[in-house]
Amino acid sequence: MPSLFDPIKLGAVTAKNRILMAPLTRARATMDHVPTPMMIDYYRQRAGAGLIISEATGISAQGLGWPYAPGIWNAQQIDAWRAITSAVHEAGGLMFSQLWHMGRLVHPSLPGRDRPLSSSATTMPGLARTYEGKHPYAQAKAMTHDDLRAVITEYRSAAANAMRAGFDGVEIHAANGYLIDQFLRDNANFRTDDYGGSIDDRIRFLVEVTSAVVATVGADRTAVRLSPNEERNGVNDGDPEPLFTAAAGALSDLRLGFLEVREPDFDGTNGRAERPPIAPLMRGAFKGVFVLNSDYDFRKGQAALDQGKADAISFGRPFIANPDLTQRFAKGLALTPDDKATWYTGGATGYADYPAVE
């Protein structure tokens, strides 16, 4: 059985180990969604990961509703990302860009935004972050077929931009209740056309977006992230096992670089998932590299590899406060706890100021 320290081929690239950095929104870009110099330091420090998956990155202004999150739709953003990917490469790392459309979570008060888009005319519960505090979300517009085509074009162009910016590939963010997940799961999708209703119809948008990205950058530079088992941002499904098994099967046919599945523990110490694990069914349906995420430490991650449950593990929160996480795992060193208070605050504190041990 492979060790977390063994290399692994992820499509077109070979990661030096199986300890991947999960995507982490940190809200350190500018108000115009351009990456900042401190992000160069932050990502360079974490180049010991087998692969860094970038924080979620807007494919268009209309698709991005998180203040100070980065985008990848214009030349300024591409140039700023290039400085980051160069630094990661110089430090011996690899980096994918996580492509993000937030759908109904985009607040129309943000500059240049219209009414949010979603599969159906639903409203995200709770309050949106805006540049002027938190406000109730707006009801989404159910996407027309023209809207669907336009958003798929945005994914294509963002994927091409990511390659121009020097990324090694892209990961389509189809998890956590954002736009693609708003099509997948049945408590947010009430469509009666070819994009709603049956499982085949609900996975259609995911497959079309992924096929478009594959046609743009190649299957071996394309990955997808799914979160089958838990409510996220108000999105959930009544019968997720067949849905996500079918989604994994359809993505398998596209021969992606890898599939990343975020699934919390069901009955472990952090037991938050609502149902027994769905990932094993998805692993059976997906023939490529399978990456598992959520609530792993070194021991549990290695056990998942030993048991054949995954080929690699992505670690999120452990990378926030431990830039040298791979080294610490290798040497059995204690981990620094991260500070939740500085996850999204902007500014230098709690960002690139966590020291490596050596």
Ligand X SMILES: Cc1cc2nc3c(=O)[nH]c(=O)nc-3n(C[C@H](O)[C@H](O)[C@H](O)COP(=O)(O)O)c2cc1C
Residues noted as catalytic? 178
Whole-number Å distance between alpha carbons of 105 and 63: 9
The single residue among 182, 294, 322, 326 that binds ligand X, judged by CB under 6 A, is 294
- Answer yes or no whether residue 295 interacts with ligand X by CB under 6 A: yes
Among 25, 130, 139, 157, binds ligand X (CB under 6 A): 25
Choice between 142 and 304, CB closer to ligand X: 304
Query: How many beta carbons lie within 10 A of that of residue 293, not counting itself?
Result: 25
Shortest Å distance, C-beta 118 to ligand X: 18
Residue from 51, 175, 213, 248 binding ligand X (CB under 6 A)? 175
Residue of 162, 202, 175 lying closest to 186 (CA atoms) = 202
**What is the per-residue binding string for ligand X in 35-74, x denoting contact by CB under 6 A?**
--------------------xx------------------
Stretch that binds ligand X, among 115-123, 128-136, 196-204, 314-322 (CB under 6 A): 314-322
Distances (CA, A) of 319 to 46, 52, 157, 301: 7, 10, 29, 14
Comparing CB distances to ligand X, the nearer of 98 and 210 is 98
Segment contacting ligand X (CB under 6 A): 172-180, 200-208, 236-244, 298-306? 172-180
Question: Under rule CB under 6 A, how many of the chain's residues touch ligand X?
Answer: 21
Helix (H, G, I), strand (E, B) or coil at 133: strand
Distance, CA of 356 to CA of 336 (rounded, Å) = 10
When CB distances to ligand X are compared, the closest residue is 316
Structure tokens at 133: 């505090």
Please, where are the H alpha helices in 203-321?
A: 204-217, 240-253, 279-285, 298-306, 317-321
Residue ranges in 274-350 assigned as alpha helix (H):
279-285, 298-306, 317-321, 325-331
Q: Within a 10 A sphere around the Cβ of 5, how many other Cβ atoms?
A: 14
Residues 75-134 that bind ligand X (CB under 6 A): 98
Give 62 or 97: the residue with its C-beta nearer to ligand X: 97
DSSP 175-220: -TTSHHHHHHSTTT----STTSSSHHHHTHHHHHHHHHHHHHH-GG
The minimum distance between CB 296 and ligand X, in angstroms, equals 6
Residue 345 burial (CB count, 10 A): 14
Q: Which is nearer to ligand X, 141 or 266 (CB)?
A: 266
| Interacting residue with ligand X among 18, 262, 283, 328 (CB under 6 A) | 262
263 binds ligand X (CB under 6 A): no
Are the C-beta atoms of 229 and 278 separated by less than 8 Å?
A: yes
Quote the least distance from Cβ 24 to ligand X, whole Å: 4
Which one of 43-51, 85-93, 208-216, 290-298 is the stretch in contact with ligand X (CB under 6 A)?
Answer: 290-298
**Distance of alpha carbon 358 from alpha carbon 25, whole angstroms:** 26
Could you say which of 11, 15, 16, 23 contacts ligand X (CB under 6 A)?
23
Q: How far is the CB of 69 from ligand X (least distance, A)?
A: 8
For the window 241-260, what string marks contact with ligand X as x by the rule CB under 6 A? --------------------
Name which of 195 and 315 has its Cβ closer to ligand X.
Answer: 315
C-alpha angle 88-89-91 in degrees, rounded to nearest 5 = 65
Cβ at position 341, least distance to ligand X in Å: 11
Q: What is the b/e burial string over 43-70, where b = at least 16 CB atoms within 10 angstroms of the residue's CB?
A: bbbbbbbbbbbbbbbbbbbbbbbbbbbb
158: CB partners within 8 A, 6+ apart: 57, 59, 60, 72, 73, 97, 99, 170
Q: Rounded to the nearest whole angstrom, what is the least distance from the CB of residue 192 to ligand X in the complex?
A: 30
Binding residue for ligand X, selected from 65, 166, 301, 316, defined by CB under 6 A:
316
User: Distance between CA atoms of 170 and 23, rounded to whole angstroms?
Assistant: 11
Q: Which residues contact ligand X by CB under 6 A?
A: 22-25, 55-56, 98, 173, 175-176, 225, 262, 293-296, 315-318, 343
